[in-house]
Structure 1
Amino acid sequence: MGSRTLTRAAGPDRFEHAGCTVVDHRYGAGPGTPFVLVHGIGCGLSYFEPIAPLLAEHGPVHVLELPGFGDAPKPPSVLTIEEHAGLVVALLRSMGRPVVLVGQSMGCEIVLEAALRAPELVERVVLIGAVTDPDERTALQQGLRLAQDVLGETPATNWRVFSEYLKCGPRRYLATLPSMLAYDTEAAAAALTVPALLIRGEKDPICRRPWARRLAARLAVGRLVEIPGGHHNAHSTHPRATASAILTAPLRTRV
């Protein structure tokens, strides 16, 4: 990958569907396969700012802010994983060509669900720091793991995450959490028919290695890549290594 830095296109797009608004921040252009990036719970654009320009050297990048997160307007009710996925599918249909669909944390659940609903619109799925480990499917356990992760992240990454949490607000964050905890990520991975790549930071306490290996083994066509030294937000702390994995890691049948 080159060292060129790309800036965002002037002004984000606003995609309206089913009474909700998705904000679409675009980087780069050209004929390459688009990358569509879907954030985790409570987060938004700043979460992906380190990695988006690197991917944009290889194709147009769309960083989504889902309803109620980042700068996207808050809908009257809190959306489930399935409802978020429905919005992503509608946006992909409007784009008119297959994409590389990248999710991080809760975004992994959303992109899995979207790819299950419309596999013809997805060239490849990338899951970064997947949730939720079925052995730790409670708000308390996830809160403790989040606290553990914060201690290992860089100050810049913690600032990005918690500034996004402030935009979201604790009420919407907590109201979204039950849907995230309830979603069966392993079953979705087992049903997936498009190629997939699972990425975890080597030190990620949320997407722990034993579960990541089990999840990767459920993928019909996919594999697991670990980012050395990374925690849950490896895309932010190690953007070049994560982008390289997305772009170059080979896929094989079963892990």
Structure 2
Amino acid sequence: MTEAGLFTRRFGVLPRSGAPAVVLVHGLGLSGRYFVPLARRLAERGAAVLVPDLPGTARSRAAVARAPDVRQLALALAHWHRSLALAPSLLVANSVGCQVAAALAASNPRMVRRLVLVGPALDPGASGRHHCARLLRDAPREPLRLLAVAASDYLVTGPLRCAASFRHALRDSAESFEANLAQVRVPTLVVRGAGDPIASRSWIRRVAGLVGDGRTAEIPGAAHAAHYSAPDVMATLIQKFAATEPGGPA
């Protein structure tokens, strides 16, 4: 269904007005479809889960005339969150979605209760060419079903918009991503698949060190989309993290 202009998938109990929810934020050019396995696991454990397609992508493609930059995506996500009258939410983001989540947490801290950043990209130490090479190295490590979903989503979003979104993400990585992370004060879990060639172990440690209360985790046998290939493990990590005291061990 469409919520505040964004196509949104709902799982589990309906979030009451003023009640917290788990919000899943997809990566560049994709839709929320590749979060469905994780959303179902979280819903089975009692969570209210919302998965919007960000403006300009997939089933929210018509929400805007051109590809928004990271700041505009964060503003749109904040408007969506406000329109649904949600309490501060647990945001789970993947890849470039982590840049959107960081921008939202920095600009609207009262909307975010906790952050889970899965395979955060793009790290500012690499060029666009290097990021593309890393993405190509990742593809054979992901499940074939995920590659089919991603290919379909990229076609719906459109190659020109995907390319524009990539340029926006590179600019945000160089100019704003780390600064936004440094403004995040909520407990943050940074996760990578052990086989992820995009988000290195040293990079996720840096991300966790930039936020005010960060910790890291690694999932064996998974790559960049660890939430898709290991949804049960990821759901357990999120559930355990949500129950920890701020500043405590993950």
| Partner SS state of residue 76, structure 1 | coil
Supply the distance in 1 between the matched residues of 2:43 and 2:83 (Cα, whole angstroms).
20
Supply the distance in 2 between the matched residues of 1:164 and 1:204 (Cα, whole angstroms).
21
Instruction: Judge which range, 27-36 or 57-66, deviates more.
Output: 27-36
Cα shift at 1:210? 1.1
Cα shift at 1:23? 1.1
> How do residues 71-220 of structure 1 correspond to structure 2 at under 5 angstroms?
71-74=59-62, 75-96=64-85, 97-136=87-126, 138-183=127-172, 184-220=176-212
Cα shift at 1:13? 2.6
Over residues 135-191 of structure 1, what are the superposed CA-to-partner deviations in whole Å (9 max), with x where a residue is unaligned? 21x221111000000011111121121121111111100011111112232222111
| Partner SS state of residue 185, structure 2 | coil
Does structure 2 retain, via aligned residues, the 8 Å contact 1:220–1:254? no
Say if 2:229 is the partner of 1:237. Answer: yes
TM-score, normalised relative to structure 2: 0.90
Over residues 167-224 of structure 1, what are the superposed CA-to-partner deviations in whole Å (9 max), with x where a residue is unaligned? 1111100011111112232222111121111111111100011111111111211211
Q: Which amino acid aligns with 2:56?
A: G
Q: Which amino acid aligns with 1:63?
A: V
Does structure 1 retain, via aligned residues, the 8 Å contact 2:106–2:180? yes
| Partner SS state of residue 34, structure 2 | helix
Over residues 74-121 of structure 1, what are the superposed CA-to-partner deviations in whole Å (9 max), with x where a residue is unaligned? 321220000000011111112321111111111101111111111111
Supply the distance in 2 between the matched residues of 1:204 and 1:30 (Cα, whole angstroms).
34
CA separation of 1:188 and 1:254: change in aligned 2, threshold 3 A = farther
Q: Which amino acid aligns with 2:52?
A: L
Q: Which amino acid aligns with 1:166?
A: L
Unaligned runs of 5+ in 2: none
Cα shift at 1:45? 2.5
Does structure 2 retain, via aligned residues, the 8 Å contact 1:33–1:98? yes
| Partner SS state of residue 205, structure 1 | coil
Supply the distance in 2 between the matched residues of 1:73 and 1:168 (Cα, whole angstroms).
6
Cα shift at 1:55? 1.1
Does structure 2 retain, via aligned residues, the 8 Å contact 1:54–1:243? yes
Does structure 1 retain, via aligned residues, the 8 Å contact 2:66–2:161? no
Equivalent residue pairs, number: 238
More helix by share: 2
Supply the distance in 2 between the matched residues of 1:117 and 1:78 (Cα, whole angstroms).
21
Cα shift at 1:73? 3.1
CA separation of 1:92 and 1:145: change in aligned 2, threshold 3 A = same
Residue number in structure 1 paired with 2:13: 29
| Partner SS state of residue 66, structure 2 | coil
Does structure 2 retain, via aligned residues, the 8 Å contact 1:35–1:99? yes
Does structure 1 retain, via aligned residues, the 8 Å contact 2:182–2:211? yes
TM-align CA RMSD:
1.8
Question: After the TM superposition, which parts of structure 1 deviate over 4 Å for at least 4 consecutive aligned residues?
Answer: none
| Partner SS state of residue 25, structure 1 | strand
Does structure 1 retain, via aligned residues, the 8 Å contact 2:22–2:90? yes
Say if 2:247 is the partner of 1:252. Answer: yes
Supply the distance in 2 between the matched residues of 1:244 and 1:65 (Cα, whole angstroms).
24
Cα shift at 1:252? 3.0
| Partner SS state of residue 4, structure 2 | strand
Instruction: Judge which range, 242-251 or 217-226, deviates more.
Output: 242-251
Identity of aligned residues (%): 33
